[in-house]
Structure 1
Amino acid sequence: MTRPFWRRLLPRTLLARNIVLLIVLVMLSQICSIVVLLHYVQRPRVERAAAVFASYVTTLDNLLAATPPASRAALNARLDAREQLPPEAAAAPPRDWLRAYRSYQRGVFLDSLQKHLPADMPARWQTEGAQRLWIRMHAPAASAAGVGDAPNQPYWIALPIPADAQGSGLEAAIFLSLGLGVLAALAGYAIQLHLNEPLRELTGAARRVSAGETPAPLPTDGPAEIAAVGCAFNQMTHALQEAEATRALMLAGISHDIRTPLTKLRLSMAMALPDGADSSFVVAAESYLDQIDTILQQFMDYAGSGEREEAQPGDLNALIERLAGDFAGLGHEFELSLGVLPEVPYRPISMMRLLMNLMQNAIVYGGTGLAVRTWAERDAVTVAVGDRGKGLTVEELEKLRAPFQRGRNARAHSGGTGLGLSIVERIARLHGGSLQFHARDGGGLEVRVVLPLRA
């Protein structure tokens, strides 16, 4: 089942998700606060400043129109009056997204100012150089012009911009909002680290339990929720230890109680038959007894696959060569192709049991083309045991991982319990490795055990 697209965009870790959530919430709250500030606080303030400024401009225009020509000329010179609008004020200012709030306030101020000024008195904002506002004033009346004066025409004067229209105070508010967002991210990171520490301890302890080890009890002095999880995990670990001890004791008792009468039965059969009697019955009976003893041993191996055995670095190739020599003495030759391997940490008895099970399975179910290969790559080594027996499908091979499962090529062989590959996989997992099945080139099956170089 494919995950929705929006779920694929979410960060994978709880730490990243919580930090992103905190940042989004803080930024949304700050954006809403800025919008409210601009619309309900700053905008009315700018509009009032524009209304006051418009009344000031109107009064100045009336005053200049009523001033005598000689005095008006001096005032126009002081006001830097110009017949043409300066080019730096006529051009539209460039867009600046970093200071969009200033553009917004300038637009609000100019719109409100034009509403309060006559239609023939436009205003222009000069952004290049000094910040100034250019207003086109009315021409003086004809009766006010003196003899020899130039024809009356409108002119532009520059006035200082009110502080309320410049929006300089909002810059600090925006930087404060960004600072709060960063502070929220840091606070979320610190909170999540505090929560992640017991979760990491729980993860490590769970992995140790799955590897057959006994972890130290988790601390239960943290927050109530985390303490409850740690307490439940400690109780579960204690229950598993008791169940493991009970299972080992029960299986040891069963093995002892069954093998004792089996030994007595062997001795009674040997003593009951007279000399010269037909021994075929004795041979068949001893074969059945051997099968029972083998089945008991497999159950014992499956029940205790070396969890209490300490791992130590060793030469895996030397162990394989020794086992191959033992099988060669029984008439089963393995073709060895052993690569250069570093020292691998393994449990000696458990690893010998793993290799013996794989090689014994290859002999029983393959028969021909027996081979063992080893090689090292990256941070792991691989041991591959192959044969030329009748191959199995992927589904059948995967089923062999489960206890008491036997392949169709094992139906003609008696004495097995279907625990061989289960024991192999359990020992491989005990070493942090894995069990893999591969079809062999030229036919047959190759079973690979991948072991990490670090314990």
Structure 2
Amino acid sequence: MGWAQRLMPRSIAAQIMSLVALSELIGIMLAAVTLIFLFDSPSINDTQKFLAGRVAELTQLLRSTHTPAEVDGLLAAARRGGLDVRRVALSELVPRAAGETRPFSMRAFRQLAAEPGIELLEDVRHPTGSSSQVIVKLDDGQALMADVRVEDGFWPFLLRPAAAMLIIVLISMLLLSVYAVRWVIAPLAEVANAATSFGRSPRATEVLRRRGPLEIAQVADALNDMRTRIRALLDDRTRMLAAISHDLRTPLTRLRLRAERVADETLRTAMLGDIVKVTRMINETLEYLREDARSEAVSRIDLPSFLQTICSDFADTGHAVSYAGPMRLPYFCRPRALSRAVTNIVENAVKHGSTVMVALRLTELDHIEIEVIDDGPGIPPALRDKVFEPFFKADSARQDSGGFGLGLSIAQDIAKRHGGSIELKPREPSGLRVSMLLPPEPVSG
């Protein structure tokens, strides 16, 4: 842990308050330094000295002229030279308001007062003049008013002390806010990503780093501890399933051998049928609960050939299952798991329909859609979400065909572990469309 982390408060609230206070402090310091170097910089001072010199020179020339035409000529020449000046009566001047500031330094103009014959009037202003006016007293109750703005446009606004300080403070706070987001939010994002990854693969071995504020570090510790405990539970479940599989299959084998010796053919057939059903139920339940199938490695397959093989397997057993789609489409997936999912969907379709089509197509954003279409009785809309629940069978809509209600549950679980989803849609005039939507690449976990 570095010295910055040791000095940083542990709680999120304290860190945010500290970063805000630090940003304000740094902003004020930067503003102060900028004001010192900006408003007393050589370029600004040189410009103001130049303007002060021109005002002093013009004042001396005006005092040496005697006719109104000469005065007007001097003022016109000064305006053509870029100096905004005019002559006003002393009686028109009003006192400056208390606390009124100028957007420039008066240092160069105050030096005018040291020159002979120059009287700078700082405490008064002309009502129609700008805030950048400088007034020098002339003879005969007159005064020279000069607008000494450096230039027009947006830059003079930035040179105003209040505006400059505000902008500097805002910029410094913005920069430190970016750092605050990285310091406080980055660990939160890491925790969120770890939680998402853990949800997809509880057996993932990576450990979440303990960093960031105290609350986030505590969440990381809790997630790591939960992952360890859940991994232990999964290991226990795997061992338990292996034991159950062995303990149940052994007596079922003995029952099968004894049933085959029954002389009554009708009774023997019924007993063997019940044994087959129990065996299938055990196998499907164990398949649904198995965790090792979920850790299958990702490999590249040709998806059309993959689906055509599944269709051929069903066609070989007498079912009317066909394929429609592109003839070549490389795809990265977990082949055994995906085969299990598609097989379950097709198996469910051939139980309830006479013809089944497996369609493959690319959707927007290059997603893969595998659609299994049958001409069976379909499923009512109210039951389309429930059929994904383990051991649920929509017998009221589709006749009982000996299944145990795990096929679609397993298929949906496999689709989710690929980062996809399954949706049931009606087929007109009758039947069901089971759409499996998969991302361009399967998610990790």
TM-score range for the pair, normalised by the shorter chain length: 0.5 to 0.7
Quick check: 1:269 aligned with 2:259? yes
Residue 144 of structure 2: aligned partner:
158
Residue 426 of structure 1: aligned partner:
413
Quick check: 1:185 aligned with 2:174? yes
Quick check: 1:357 aligned with 2:338? no
Give the Å deviation of 1:379. Answer: 2.9
For 1:233, the aligned partner's letter is L
Residue 336 of structure 1, aligned match among 323, 330, 335: 323
Residue 192 of structure 2, aligned match among 198, 203, 214: 203
In 1, Cα distance between equivalents of 2:371 and 2:309: 16
Quick check: 1:435 aligned with 2:422? yes
Quick check: 1:326 aligned with 2:316? no
Alpha-carbon deviations, 1:60-105, whole Å to 9, x = none? xxxxxxxxxxxxx9678599978xx999779xxxxxxxxxxxxx75
> Contact conserved, 1:341 with 1:376, CA < 8 A, in 2?
no
> Contact conserved, 1:341 with 1:375, CA < 8 A, in 2?
no
In 1, Cα distance between equivalents of 2:335 and 2:157: 77
> Contact conserved, 1:208 with 1:215, CA < 8 A, in 2?
no
Give the Å deviation of 1:254. Answer: 1.7
Alpha-carbon deviations, 1:227-282, whole Å to 9, x = none? 21111000111111112122222222222211111110010122343xxxx31111
Cα 1:223–1:285 change in 2 (3 A) is: same
Cα 1:420–1:233 change in 2 (3 A) is: same
Give the Å deviation of 1:174. Answer: 2.4
For 1:430, the aligned partner's letter is R
Residue 247 of structure 1: aligned partner:
237
Alpha-carbon deviations, 1:390-440, whole Å to 9, x = none? 222333111222222222446641532222111111001111111112222
Residue 126 of structure 2: aligned partner:
123
In 1, Cα distance between equivalents of 2:158 and 2:252: 97
| Farther-moved stretch of structure 1 (443-452 vs 333-342) | 333-342
Give the Å deviation of 1:133. Answer: 4.2
For 1:371, the aligned partner's letter is M
Cα 1:447–1:133 change in 2 (3 A) is: same
Residue 387 of structure 2: aligned partner:
400
Quick check: 1:225 aligned with 2:215? yes
For 2:209, the aligned partner's letter is P
Secondary structure of the structure 1 residue equivalent to 2:379: coil
Residue 374 of structure 2: aligned partner:
387
Cα 1:216–1:169 change in 2 (3 A) is: closer
Residue 147 of structure 1: aligned partner:
none
Give the Å deviation of 1:127. Answer: 5.3
In 1, Cα distance between equivalents of 2:233 and 2:133: 84
Residue 45 of structure 1: aligned partner:
none
> Contact conserved, 1:125 with 1:132, CA < 8 A, in 2?
no
Residue 290 of structure 2: aligned partner:
304
Of structures 1 and 2, the larger Rg is shown by 1
Stretches of structure 1 lacking an aligned partner (at least 5 in a row)? 1-13, 34-72, 91-103, 107-115, 140-154
Equivalent runs, 1:100-111 vs 2, <5 Å: none
Residue 234 of structure 1: aligned partner:
224
Cα 1:133–1:387 change in 2 (3 A) is: same
Give the Å deviation of 1:132. Answer: 4.5
Secondary structure of the structure 1 residue equivalent to 2:259: helix
In 2, Cα distance between equivalents of 1:160 and 1:358: 90
Alpha-carbon deviations, 1:10-33, whole Å to 9, x = none? xxxx9xxx89x969x969x99xx9
Alpha-carbon deviations, 1:292-337, whole Å to 9, x = none? 1111111111112621211211122222212211211211011210
Secondary structure of the structure 2 residue equivalent to 1:384: strand
Secondary structure of the structure 1 residue equivalent to 2:332: strand
Secondary structure of the structure 1 residue equivalent to 2:164: helix
Residue 183 of structure 2: aligned partner:
194
Quick check: 1:175 aligned with 2:164? yes
Secondary structure of the structure 2 residue equivalent to 1:334: strand
> Contact conserved, 2:85 with 2:144, CA < 8 A, in 1?
no
Secondary structure of the structure 2 residue equivalent to 1:400: helix
Quick check: 1:294 aligned with 2:284? no
In 2, Cα distance between equivalents of 1:198 and 1:132: 58
Give the Å deviation of 1:445. Answer: 0.9
Equivalent runs, 1:277-288 vs 2, <5 Å: 278-288=264-274
Cα 1:381–1:81 change in 2 (3 A) is: same
Stretches of structure 2 lacking an aligned partner (at least 5 in a row)? 1-11, 32-61, 87-99, 103-122, 150-155
In 1, Cα distance between equivalents of 2:434 and 2:181: 44
